[in-house]
Structure 1
Amino acid sequence: MASEQTTITVPGPNGGREMRISSPNRVLWPDLGLTKLDLARYICDVGEAFIAANGDRPVSLQRYSDNIEGEMFFSKNPPRGTPGFIRSVKVVYPSARSHPQLVLDEPAAAVWAVQMNTVVFHPWPSRAGNTDNPDQLRIDLDPQPGTDFGDAVPAALVLKDVLSEARLESFIKTSGNRGLHVYAPIEPVHEFLDVRHAVIAAAREVERRMPDKVTTAWWKEERGQRVFLDFNQANRDRTIAGAYSPRALPHAPVSCPITWDELETVDPKDFTVLTVPDRLKTVGDPWSRFGGNPGSIGTLLDWWDRDTKAGLGEMPFPPDYPKMPGEPPRVQPSRAKKQPDANND
């Protein structure tokens, strides 16, 4: 018996490509009944904006063996059978190992990824031609328990002001969950560690201005009911869901670019696989100018140097990273061994 499959025509820079979708009726979002074919059609509908935001970058694919409630894994290397029009680029990981990683150059490549059961797309902040030097500064505003999207909004507005003071133009999108992602296009002349330090400097400045509302504390036990400014997403091989990427949540949300003027009135739950294509047709792409005016992180690095001299040094790295110079101990404060009292030998 022949397996169930269909073919869709995907518009692209070289005309339409016929892309096969096997198991098109496989339900990916059970609560909505949205299928693999629905997702492929979504990618077709948002394809131009999707590739503008995520193309020409190493990308990790978040794939599912069944639906979003099932087993998930990340795919980076090109699997066997990758079409010839989809390229890869060699990248270096924190372990110093290097491997080829997929690059998406046209909507049909993203549809092929859907065929491979991809739901979420995670692009690097650097281009395929210069993977070691990010051209995007990214800050993830992550509401902690007891806070929500509404708490992230004022934090994002202060962050916008901070980045503007550092001579950086910023763009914003919903995370697809409760948070916000703030991006700034930058000149690709600094390595990941420098960009991370720039992110930390910006996050600390926001924290100074609203200490009761935001935090840079890496350890969850120290964050309280505040919005966490996740500086570690700026590390090499750390990624967040790309613009226009679906998320693996029951209502099929999308990480959706918005304008700063919209920020205080939008509801992130309104941006879904079902609604974003019509939004693009009527509102347009708020990130259409993204990258047209890349800035320098020089001011932020000056702030980093200033803070370092004032005693604010390196922050913890993710647990799978090698121990980094100047990094504090990787142990949560409540478990840290108390130093013996100097007066009690």
Structure 2
Amino acid sequence: MASERITLTVPGPDGDREVGLSSPNRVLWPDLGITKHELAEYVIAVAEPFLTANGDRPVSLERFPGGIDGERFYSKNPPKGAPEYVDEVMCTYNSGRRHPQVVLREAAAVVWAVQMNTVVFHPWASLAADTDNPIELRIDLDPQPGTDFADAAAVAPALRDVLAEAGLTAFLKTSGNRGIHVFCPIEPTHEFLDVRHAVIAASRELERRMPKKVTTNWWKEERGERIFLDFNQANRDRTMAGAYSPRALPGAPVATPVTWEELAAGIDPAGFTVRTVPQRLADIGDPWADLQAAPGRIDTLLQWWERDVAAGLGELPFPPDFPKMPGEPPRVQPSRARQPEEAPQPEAD
């Protein structure tokens, strides 16, 4: 028996497209009964701000064939048979290998991704026209055990101040979970490693000012009850859930741009969901509508990086799947670091 299938009419720059959706009644979020069809309607409703934030760039698709409680896998390159309105771009990875990656340029392509059981969209920080040079500096404020969203919200304004001192304008969004993502638009004049060093420089400056609240320690055993400033999210091919992307978590939360005024007033990130975000956009608009209006430069942060290197603060660890990088410290958990062997004792006469 043929599986159930419907057709959705999706507006786009070249007119309406008809996009097929199989198994539309498959439940993706069991706790709320949100189906594949409802997710497709959601991405159509938020298509304009979603594409402004995530379109025209490489994107990895986190796919869930059986709902969020089932198997998940990541898809980067377009599968065979992808429609002509789903684009691709050749990307170079840290290993040196190259292969094409999906690029979404219109709402129909996003609905196609939902048809492919995508729940979470992970965009690169660079555009398809120049995949090597990011247009965003990103810092992930990641609560550690004993801390929560409120702790991340308390330190985010101090990070904004640090970035402002470096000539950058900070925007923020919820992660869709417990954290906060801070984005600064930047001119695409430096490649990923330089941007990573700029992120480390800003993070170290914030750590100096708030040592009891934030940390740049890569090893979890050294972080304590502080907000981890995840500098490794600035690496090539390292991504976070894009703006207006759902998350595969109970409640169908959405990674949602918010204003600094909203953050100061107190927000509950769990309140931004697949079912509430379209009305939020209708009521207040997109807080990130002007994110790319005036990109800054990372020159000052790179000067801070060089200052810290001269002071003895060098490279920090890379993720374990990366090749060994120049100047990188040993990738060994501090508690497992090899202790110097004891000097041999002379034998008794």
Query: 1:24 maps to which residue?
Result: 24
Matching of residue 333 in structure 1 with residue 334 in structure 2: yes
Q: Larger deviation: 224-233 or 8-17?
A: 8-17
Specify whether residues 343 and 290 from structure 1 end up closer, same or farther in structure 2 by C-alpha distance, changes over 3 A only.
farther
Q: Post-superposition shift, 1:15?
A: 2.0
Query: 1:209 maps to which residue?
Result: 209
3-state SS, counterpart of residue 57 of structure 1: coil
Q: Take 2:345 and 2:272, find their aligned partners in 1: how far apart are those partners?
A: 61
Q: Post-superposition shift, 1:153?
A: 0.7
Q: Take 1:15 and 1:52, find their aligned partners in 2: how far apart are those partners?
A: 18
Q: Take 1:13 and 1:142, find their aligned partners in 2: how far apart are those partners?
A: 37
Q: Post-superposition shift, 1:62?
A: 0.1
Post-superposition CA distance 1:174-208 (Å, at most 9, x none): 00000000000001010110000000000111111
AA partner of residue 238 (structure 1): R
AA partner of residue 273 (structure 1): V
Specify whether residues 343 and 246 from structure 1 end up closer, same or farther in structure 2 by C-alpha distance, changes over 3 A only.
same
Q: Take 2:342 and 2:237, find their aligned partners in 1: how far apart are those partners?
A: 41
Q: Post-superposition shift, 1:341?
A: 6.6
Q: Post-superposition shift, 1:65?
A: 2.0
Q: Take 2:345 and 2:248, find their aligned partners in 1: how far apart are those partners?
A: 55
Q: Take 2:51 and 2:103, find their aligned partners in 1: how far apart are those partners?
A: 10
Q: TM-score, normalised by structure 1?
A: 0.98
Q: Take 2:340 and 2:281, find their aligned partners in 1: how far apart are those partners?
A: 58
AA partner of residue 212 (structure 2): D
Post-superposition CA distance 1:107-142 (Å, at most 9, x none): 110100000000000000000000000011000000
Q: Take 1:246 and 1:124, find their aligned partners in 2: how far apart are those partners?
A: 17
Query: 2:289 maps to which residue?
Result: 288
Q: Take 1:256 and 1:342, find their aligned partners in 2: how far apart are those partners?
A: 58
3-state SS, counterpart of residue 228 of structure 2: strand
1:193-232 residue pairs with structure 2 within 5 A? 193-232=193-232
Matching of residue 267 in structure 1 with residue 230 in structure 2: no
AA partner of residue 321 (structure 2): D
Specify whether residues 342 and 108 from structure 1 end up closer, same or farther in structure 2 by C-alpha distance, changes over 3 A only.
same
Matching of residue 5 in structure 1 with residue 13 in structure 2: no
Contact map agreement 2:85 2:108 (CA 8 A) in 1: no
Q: Post-superposition shift, 1:340?
A: 4.4
Q: Take 1:16 and 1:65, find their aligned partners in 2: how far apart are those partners?
A: 27
Computing the radius of gyration over CA atoms, which structure comes out larger, 1 or 2?
A: 2
3-state SS, counterpart of residue 9 of structure 2: strand
Q: Take 2:345 and 2:180, find their aligned partners in 1: how far apart are those partners?
A: 49
Q: Post-superposition shift, 1:11?
A: 1.7
What CA RMSD, in Å, does the superposition of the two structures yield over aligned residues? 1.2
Q: Post-superposition shift, 1:342?
A: 8.2
Post-superposition CA distance 1:211-257 (Å, at most 9, x none): 10110000000001110000000001000000000000010000000
AA partner of residue 24 (structure 1): P
Q: Take 2:334 and 2:318, find their aligned partners in 1: how far apart are those partners?
A: 15
Q: Take 1:192 and 1:312, find their aligned partners in 2: how far apart are those partners?
A: 19
Query: 2:324 maps to which residue?
Result: 323
Query: 2:256 maps to which residue?
Result: 256
Query: 2:149 maps to which residue?
Result: 149
Q: Take 2:78 and 2:109, find their aligned partners in 1: how far apart are those partners?
A: 12
For structure 2, which runs of at least 5 residues remain unmatched after alignment?
none
3-state SS, counterpart of residue 83 of structure 2: coil
Query: 1:177 maps to which residue?
Result: 177
3-state SS, counterpart of residue 193 of structure 1: helix
Q: Take 2:128 and 2:117, find their aligned partners in 1: how far apart are those partners?
A: 23
Where in structure 1 do 4 or more consecutive aligned residues deviate above 3 Å?
Answer: 340-345
Q: Take 1:23 and 1:215, find their aligned partners in 2: how far apart are those partners?
A: 45
AA partner of residue 42 (structure 1): Y
Post-superposition CA distance 1:24-81 (Å, at most 9, x none): 0000000000000000000000000000000000000000120100000000011011
3-state SS, counterpart of residue 196 of structure 1: helix
Q: Post-superposition shift, 1:339?
A: 2.7
Query: 2:38 maps to which residue?
Result: 38
Query: 1:59 maps to which residue?
Result: 59
Specify whether residues 344 and 223 from structure 1 end up closer, same or farther in structure 2 by C-alpha distance, changes over 3 A only.
farther
3-state SS, counterpart of residue 262 of structure 1: helix
3-state SS, counterpart of residue 82 of structure 2: coil
Q: Larger deviation: 250-259 or 261-270?
A: 261-270
AA partner of residue 277 (structure 1): P
AA partner of residue 258 (structure 1): V
3-state SS, counterpart of residue 262 of structure 2: coil
For structure 1, which runs of at least 5 residues remain unmatched after alignment?
none
Q: Take 1:143 and 1:307, find their aligned partners in 2: how far apart are those partners?
A: 25
Post-superposition CA distance 1:255-283 (Å, at most 9, x none): 00001111121110100000000000001
Taking only the aligned residue pairs, the percentage that are identical comes to 68
Q: Post-superposition shift, 1:2?
A: 2.8
Query: 2:118 maps to which residue?
Result: 118
Matching of residue 47 in structure 1 with residue 53 in structure 2: no
